[in-house]
Structure 1
Amino acid sequence: MYALVDAVAFYASAEKVFNPALRTKPVVVLTNNDGCICAVCPIARRLNIPKFQPYFKVKHLLAKHNVVICSSNYELYADLSDKMMNIISRFCDNQYVYSIDESFLHFNGFTPLINDWHQYGQLIRRTVWRETKLPVGVGFGPTPTLAKAANHAAKKLSGFNGVAVIDNEQSRTTILAAMDVGDVWGVGRRLTKKLKLLNINSALDLAQQSPSHIKRLFSVVLARTVDELNGRPTLNWHDVQHNKREVFSTRSFANRLTCPIALKTALVSHAMIVARKLRAQHCVTKRLLLFIASSPHEQHYAKKSLIYELPTPSADSTIFANAVTAIFEQLYQVGVRYYKCGVGALEVSAAQFQQHDLFNQKTDNIKLMSCLDAVNKRYGADTLTLASQQQTNQWHMKRTFLSPHYTTRWHHLPKIACC
């Protein structure tokens, strides 16, 4: 049996954890630079607050309904996500963290101990709420795709109280018939349009197709989805847990930048993030992509990218920072109002399977990087940084409605007044 545990409007729910006054109010969270709405809590959803709309377009609507507006507090969300995943892991044999707010569970040895999947799902929900104050939905199914469908039913379809179980033919057909084909895991917008042209409108319609026919028309991936919707597991649990082939860190600026020092500082910071992500999945890269660009709405749009070849595969932050310094002059153009920049690691590979080069000795300082990661994990992000990251903060994004970093900064700890 598989399960998918998914937080309800995670970003918006996270804003309510340490501020109980918000729990009965409509809350929305904005994207980078307070650009668009990216999360809408259930209370705000009932007010028909649109998601993924530019903030300036719905500003008056939000004010009319007294909606609480929050900037994205990624440090808080990451810490709460880590706590939530650790709690969920206690309820299964094997866990795969699919995203910041979603986690697949696999039950094997636990199965004989579970008499009622509905009750077990409610136990997971109560435990997560008690220890983190985050609301979650739980879906159970004999395949990961059916578990995802059950989770959709638990959160979106009427008649379910946060938990849905697909464990027989009746529950499978009932839930799939009520799901739009576009809500099936792995079916995107373009594929949805093509399927609906063939009169495949619901998840049940897709499940009733011949896998071989779907494979000929579309792909082997969608054919496997058909098998999974019929209760035949085709996704190997370990195949799903693959490392990323490419790792990127990009961000737009709060204001246009013309200062080379600010731009270089931003690129170094992104390089640090990429290096940290590579170390987290025990990988290295030999090629770095760096780019800087102005806004496409500017009269003279400018964008330039360069690939830097490292002497040996690496995940060392200092080596990445030196790479930025080495090619920055080739990237930067005087007079351009820069809007965005980023760094990407291409052709990512596992660190343990590297063949050493006799003529290019590896210069990674593994112990230093381990110490850097350990300190930042214990005391909060950017507790330790490279000096080149701290030259200026002009490039930092705009977060006007940012909530405190309750769990990662000492001076933001909640204070209790005892009368």
Structure 2
Amino acid sequence: MFGLVDAVSFYARAEKVFDPSIRHKPVVVLTNNDGCICAVCPLARQLGVPKFIPYFKIKDFLEKHNVVVRSSNYELYADLSERMMNVIARFSDNHYIYSIDESFLHFKNFSCIDDWHQYGHVIRKAVWRETRLPVGVGFGSTLTLAKAANHASKKLSGFDGVAVIDDANSRKDILSRMSLTDVWGIGNKLGRRLSLLGLKTGWDLANQSAKVMRSQFSVAVERTVNELNGMPCLQWDEIGQDKQEIFSTRSFGQRVTDEHVLKAALASHASIVATKVRRQGSLIKRLVIFASSSPHDDNYYKKSFVYEFPVTTDNTLKVVGAISFVFDNIYTQGVAFYRCGVGGIALENSQFQQQDLFALGINNPPLMKCYDQVNHRYGRGTVEVAVAEKNDKWAMKRNFLSPSYTSKWSDIPKILC
């Protein structure tokens, strides 16, 4: 049996954990630079607040209905996510973190569980008791069915936060109430193509011939059909494959014209990319560096450059150093830069590298390990390359940022008795 535990409106609910004054109020969370709404709590959803709409377009509506607005507090979310995952991991012998608020469970040695529905509530209560985060729990004989059950636990009527697909009746009941695009792996574009065949629900898809779906669409769709029929096709390594490209990009809090500020921003992005690359055990062969003005400007400007390393690397110093080699090709005086970014492409696995007898190694694993450990323990940016100096002109705008209750001494909640 597989399980999927997913937090309900994670960002918005995380804002309420340490702030009792907003627990019974509608809350929305904004994206980088307070641009769009990315998370909506159930109370805000009842008001009809949509996701991914620019904040300025709905600002008056939010004020009228006393909706609490928060900037994305990534430090807080990451810490609460780690706490939540530690609790969830206790309830199975195999645990795979799929995203910041979502994790799969695989039960190999849990044949003693007679009531999966009750066991799901045990998990929910433990997570709530230790983190004050509400979660939905779904169980199924395949990863796709577990994902479908999790969807039902939170979105379909008749469920109380836990759903189980363990027989033909429960499978038909849930899949027949799910639209095609609610099925894991079926996006909007693919859903439109499938709808041309008269398919409307997950149950319709499950009743198709897997071989026909493969010939008309892809192996991925064939696997989805088999999984919906209780035949496991996906494994951990297939749902968590290493990324082939890793980017760090962001628009500026205010326009940037100074070359030193732009270079610092690019260096910061390069440092983030190097850290992410090391995290998944990869090395960078090519680095993409770009900067642009706003596409809404009269004279739109965008320049990018690809730097190729002579030897693949994950060394932050080498990745950041590449910025200096290409910067003059990107920066143009007088341009009001709106956005910039860095991306590692043509990534290679660090465990399977053919060494060059005549090229000196440019990586420094002990130094990078120390660098990562310090930043993990004391917060990202504790140790940073000098050129990536923080500057208010390019730092992310977060005007509605809540305190970092769990990662800053000054923000630790105070209890008055």
The corresponding residue for 2:298 is: 299
Correspondence 1:23 to 2:10: no
Give the residue type in structure 2 aligned to 1:235: L
The corresponding residue for 1:66 is: 66
Task: Answer yes or no: is the 8 Å Cα contact 1:380–1:409 preserved in 2.
Answer: no
Report the CA distance between 1:316 and its aligned residue.
Answer: 1.0
Report the CA distance between 1:124 and its aligned residue.
Answer: 0.8
Unaligned runs of 5+ in 2: none
Q: Deviations over 1:69-99 (max 9, x none)?
A: 0001111111111111121111112122111
SS at match of 2:90: helix
The corresponding residue for 1:48 is: 48
Distance in 2 (CA, whole Å) between partners of 1:238 and 1:280 is 16
The corresponding residue for 2:32 is: 32
The corresponding residue for 2:249 is: 250
The corresponding residue for 2:13 is: 13
Give the alignment's Cα RMSD to 1 decimal.
1.1
Q: Deviations over 1:177-214 (max 9, x none)?
A: 11011101011111111222221001101111111111
Q: Residues 42 and 254 of structure 1: is their aligned pair in 2 closer, same or farther, counting only changes over 3 Å?
A: same
SS at match of 2:111: helix
User: % of aligned pairs identical?
Assistant: 57
Unaligned runs of 5+ in 1: none
Report the CA distance between 1:392 and its aligned residue.
Answer: 2.9
Report the CA distance between 1:13 and its aligned residue.
Answer: 0.8
Report the CA distance between 1:267 and its aligned residue.
Answer: 0.6
Give the residue type in structure 2 aligned to 1:383: T
The corresponding residue for 2:413 is: 414
Distance in 2 (CA, whole Å) between partners of 1:326 and 1:398 is 29
Taking the TM superposition and a 5 Å limit, the aligned residue runs for 1:314-325 are 314-325=313-324
Distance in 2 (CA, whole Å) between partners of 1:97 and 1:291 is 32
Distance in 2 (CA, whole Å) between partners of 1:202 and 1:392 is 50
SS at match of 2:394: coil
Task: Answer yes or no: is the 8 Å Cα contact 1:5–1:103 preserved in 2.
Answer: yes
Give the residue type in structure 2 aligned to 1:188: G
Q: Which runs of 4+ in 1 moved over 2 A?
A: 236-241
The corresponding residue for 1:102 is: 102
Q: Deviations over 1:32-81 (max 9, x none)?
A: 11111110001111111111111111111111110000001111111111
The corresponding residue for 1:393 is: 392
Task: Answer yes or no: is the 8 Å Cα contact 1:27–1:68 preserved in 2.
Answer: yes
Report the CA distance between 1:391 and its aligned residue.
Answer: 5.7
Taking the TM superposition and a 5 Å limit, the aligned residue runs for 1:205-224 are 205-224=204-223
Of 285-294 and 235-244, deviating more is 235-244
Distance in 2 (CA, whole Å) between partners of 1:382 and 1:406 is 18
Task: Answer yes or no: is the 8 Å Cα contact 1:261–1:391 preserved in 2.
Answer: no
Task: Answer yes or no: is the 8 Å Cα contact 1:4–1:102 preserved in 2.
Answer: yes
What TM-score results when the alignment is normalised by the length of structure 2? 0.98
Distance in 2 (CA, whole Å) between partners of 1:243 and 1:195 is 29
Distance in 1 (CA, whole Å) between partners of 2:21 and 2:297 is 42
SS at match of 1:245: coil
The corresponding residue for 1:89 is: 89
What TM-score results when the alignment is normalised by the length of structure 1? 0.97
Distance in 1 (CA, whole Å) between partners of 2:83 and 2:308 is 38
Give the residue type in structure 2 aligned to 1:182: T
SS at match of 1:400: coil
Correspondence 1:170 to 2:148: no
Q: Deviations over 1:125-160 (max 9, x none)?
A: 111111111111000000000000000000000111
SS at match of 1:95: strand
Q: Deviations over 1:315-360 (max 9, x none)?
A: 1111111111121111111111111111111111221211111222
The corresponding residue for 1:265 is: 264
Give the residue type in structure 1 aligned to 2:53: Q
Distance in 2 (CA, whole Å) between partners of 1:346 and 1:239 is 20
Task: Answer yes or no: is the 8 Å Cα contact 1:292–1:341 preserved in 2.
Answer: yes
Give the residue type in structure 1 aligned to 2:343: G
Taking the TM superposition and a 5 Å limit, the aligned residue runs for 1:160-239 are 160-239=159-238
Report the CA distance between 1:417 and its aligned residue.
Answer: 2.0
Distance in 2 (CA, whole Å) between partners of 1:42 and 1:48 is 10
What is the total number of aligned residue pairs between the two structures?
417
Taking the TM superposition and a 5 Å limit, the aligned residue runs for 1:235-384 are 235-384=234-383
Distance in 2 (CA, whole Å) between partners of 1:278 and 1:113 is 41
Task: Answer yes or no: is the 8 Å Cα contact 1:176–1:203 preserved in 2.
Answer: yes
Report the CA distance between 1:369 and its aligned residue.
Answer: 1.1
Q: Deviations over 1:380-410 (max 9, x none)?
A: 1211111111163321121110011111222
Correspondence 1:136 to 2:142: no
SS at match of 2:50: coil
Give the residue type in structure 2 aligned to 1:174: D
SS at match of 2:251: strand
Give the residue type in structure 1 aligned to 2:373: A
Give the residue type in structure 1 aligned to 2:132: K
Task: Answer yes or no: is the 8 Å Cα contact 1:139–1:164 preserved in 2.
Answer: yes
Correspondence 1:118 to 2:93: no
